[in-house]
Chains A and B, each alone.
Chain A
Amino acid sequence: MAVKEIEILLQGEHIPDIQLVTLERGKKVRDLLAAAARHRREEAEGDFHVFAEDSDEPLKDGDELPERDDGQPVHLHVHRCRHIEVAVTFNGVTEEHRFGPGTPIAAVKKWAAIKAFGMDPGDAAEHVLQLAGTTDRPEPDTHIGALATCPDCRLAFDLVPLKRVEG
């Protein structure tokens, strides 16, 4: 029997952490926008957009919600910012790049460590992104848009080495 519902792992502006949202199969992007509004911690005006994970372009309101072939829940993101301007500082050098708000921290870290600062994958794995001026290190599956609020569509990170835990 066909499954009648789909599960969505939802992140976005004013939405705490990652929310598991269940909708009937065949629902549209606009239905997810309505569901997302119920998960926001505070009122926010303006046009929200739905992004597939890692995508720069929003889905169209009338599109059917995407699903994964393996039956796992799909990662989607709802935000007013069309892009997030990201600045990453390492060893006193800052590199900047523009990402879609549904881009995971892991993808931004990979861009920064390997592409921007020339590390090999092994050394990249020994570094993490830390929000500038804090000790907060968002989890690799956190979408960067979840950390930014429109109209301030930008984030600043430090790329920091992982330290040994010794007595």
Chain B
Amino acid sequence: MATEVIPPDERTLRLHLESGRFRSAAAQGWWRFVGLDWPHLTVAITARDGAEYGFRFDCADYPHTAVSGRLWDLESGAPLPVNRWPGGGGRLALAFNPGWKKGTSIYLPCDRQAIEGHENWRHEHPALLWDPAKGICKYLGILHELLNSKDYGGRRAA
């Protein structure tokens, strides 16, 4: 009988999803695991008003290479329509910018697509860079902070 071999990047991600750090935030209702269809991870994050936003991450070569995340419709399993994106101003509006890469990436230093061409971010925002040791939990923590910030103003169409 053939034995399924899990590649190292998927194996490491699964370990991080089972870690105390991931479970701690889940226990507090900050986020919840939705699914893993390698290399795509789906997680729902709770905002300040109780709204839940789905995110899908491309996790190929995890954790050596940063993941890339986008807003995701958990019901239809497709990119989230822009009118249902988180709305607001300041830091939040800059991060969730539908004009950036046509909405396929979050405009944050921890994102694989966004960091490309933004070498200045490495010294301007060291606390927001991808950290292979912390992996997906750090990226999720940054998103959770934004969705619970003063800049968050609710769902766009709400």
Question: A-side interface residues toward B, CB under 8 Å?
Answer: 7, 9-10, 17-20, 72-73, 75, 122-123, 125-126, 128, 130, 135-137, 139-141, 162-167
Query: Closest CB of chain A to B110's CB: distance in Å?
Result: 10
Supposing A162-B91, A164-B94 touch, asked if A19 and B126 sit within 8 A by C-beta, the answer is no
Extra contacts besides A125-B148, A135-B126 (19): CB < 8 Å: A9-B27, A17-B21, A20-B19, A73-B27, A125-B150, A126-B149, A136-B127, A139-B137, A139-B138, A141-B28, A163-B91, A163-B124, A164-B91, A164-B94, A165-B94, A165-B95, A165-B125, A165-B128, A167-B118
Q: Which secondary structure characterizes the binding site on chain A? A: loop
Q: Is B60 part of the contact surface with A, judged by Cβ < 8 Å?
A: no
Contact B149 A17 (CB under 8 A): no
Q: Is B141 part of the contact surface with A, judged by Cβ < 8 Å?
A: yes
Contact B91 A18 (CB under 8 A): no
Question: B-side interface residues toward A, CB under 8 Å?
Answer: 18-21, 23-25, 27-28, 90-91, 94-95, 107-109, 118, 121, 124-128, 137-138, 141, 145, 148-151
Query: Closest CB of chain A to B126's CB: distance in Å?
Result: 4
Contact B108 A165 (CB under 8 A): yes
Contact A18 B21 (CB under 8 A): yes
The distance in angstroms between the C-alpha atoms of A125 and B137, with both chains bound, is 20
Q: B27 — which chain A residues lie within 8 A by C-beta?
A: 9, 72-73, 75
- Across the interface, A165 reaches (CB within 8 A) one of B18, B28, B121, B138, namely B121
Residue among A19, A137, A139 with most chain B CB within 10 A: A139
Contact B94 A135 (CB under 8 A): no
The distance in angstroms between the C-alpha atoms of A165 and B127, with both chains bound, is 12
Supposing A122-B150, A166-B94, A167-B118 touch, asked if A139 and B127 sit within 8 A by C-beta, the answer is no
Query: Closest CB of chain A to B29's CB: distance in Å?
Result: 9
The distance in angstroms between the C-alpha atoms of A165 and B94, with both chains bound, is 7
Closest A residue to B126 using CB positions? A135
14 example contacts (A-B, Cβ-Cβ < 8 A) are as follows A9-B24, A9-B27, A17-B19, A18-B20, A20-B20, A122-B150, A126-B151, A128-B127, A130-B127, A141-B28, A164-B91, A164-B94, A165-B109, A165-B128
The distance in angstroms between the C-alpha atoms of A9 and B95, with both chains bound, is 31
- Across the interface, B23 reaches (CB within 8 A) one of A9, A130, A165, namely A9
Which A-B residue pairs are the 9 nearest by beta carbons? A18-B20, A72-B27, A122-B150, A20-B20, A135-B126, A137-B127, A18-B21, A9-B24, A19-B20
Query: Closest CB of chain B to A124's CB: distance in Å?
Result: 9
Contact B20 A9 (CB under 8 A): yes
Query: Closest CB of chain B to A76's CB: distance in Å?
Result: 11
Query: Closest CB of chain B to A81's CB: distance in Å?
Result: 21
The distance in angstroms between the C-alpha atoms of A164 and B137, with both chains bound, is 21
